[in-house]
Amino acid sequence: MIVLLNFFLITFFLSSLVMIIASLLAKKSILDREKSSPYECGFDPKSSARLPFSLQFFLIAVIFLIFDVEITLLMPLSFSLVSSSMFAWLIITTLFLIILLFGLYYEWNQGALEWSY
């Protein structure tokens, strides 16, 4: 037990030391305005390169990914019908679809699916 504790302490202190040294060496000492500005063929930028990102688009994309993953979870249900009883399969599928529909209703009710210009 003592050997394991010593190994843990040595590993912890060694990794902490490496992280501290790396963070000290990686710091930029001189911040240059030209180096931190976006590069546009040697010319001064016409406008800000850091345009605001549409939060509505991001929210729609995340909702799409969530429902897409849930659809991929629905696909194996048709193959599991052969190896399970019909009643258990029907209950599980119905509960899963109710949860999906409840999530869709919640997002719709919150106004997350309405695209505003």
Residue 29, pLDDT above cutoff 60? no
Residue 53, pLDDT above cutoff 80? no
Say if CB 89 and CB 81 are below 8 A apart: yes
- The pLDDT tens digits of the residues spanning 55-114 come to 778 888 888 888 888 888 888 888 888 888 889 888 988 998 898 889 889 888 988 777
Query: Which of 56, 99, 92 has the alpha carbon at shortest distance from 77?
Result: 92
Summarize the confidence of residues 28-33 as an average pLDDT.
62
Q: How many helices (H) and strands (E) does the chain have?
A: 4, 0
What phi, psi does 54 have (nearest 5°)?
-70, 115
Residue 23, pLDDT above cutoff 60? yes
Residue 117, pLDDT above cutoff 60? no
Integer Rg of the chain from CA: 27
The domain locations on the chain are 55-110
